[in-house]
Structure 1
């Protein structure tokens, strides 16, 4: 289930793109297979937001979440690039790793046992790569 912030972002995009209700619901049906944003799951919402961005919506960056770490340590740079590629392949933003799920923890907190991606070890980043690769395979694509 979506949190209020993500649902609000979708509605802000609808307003900024001046979408009427019929167009909005048709877009939801085509992109996510639902007729209401309240029925979206987190991955579906990510796809909808990516589609809205491709239509011209420019979200304001939240200073706490959603940014790629600026300068990873030398041993982590390759893993960070792989994570970025896997996120892009699925159409997920960096926020996918740092947004809390139903359990109240983000993917980074559950897998790497740290509060922020910047603090993850190379081993933790490797586990994130494995989790994202598994997600790709589960959804019909082969990870490299």
Structure 2
């Protein structure tokens, strides 16, 4: 009896990751579809199951693809802010600021001034909850002024 978890189709984020890998590796459509057919045994990424996705990603990694996910979210670290918390802090900051902060310079200044943390990568999970609450309150006050 096949395992349901392994035979389920992959998520939209996983499909997006495949497309990022295709772009980063400069693959044309025919080559990309050949990789899907050979390593995933499917014609399109939407048809991939988890096992096929892992085979395709393993091949693309061997070809030189490197995801920036760990660099952007610092990965999963015990007692530190989780990647979803990091992403939420960044998105709330961009909403409050009204402009992108690609290197987190302004965010890091604010964190140092008001939360006594040198940079976003040093925020632990307890501090992350306080930072998120503070940013949500700042956004609410900003919306009240408008």
Task: Report the TM-score when normalising by structure 1.
Answer: 0.43
Kindly indicate which of the two structures has a greater share of residues assigned to helix: 2
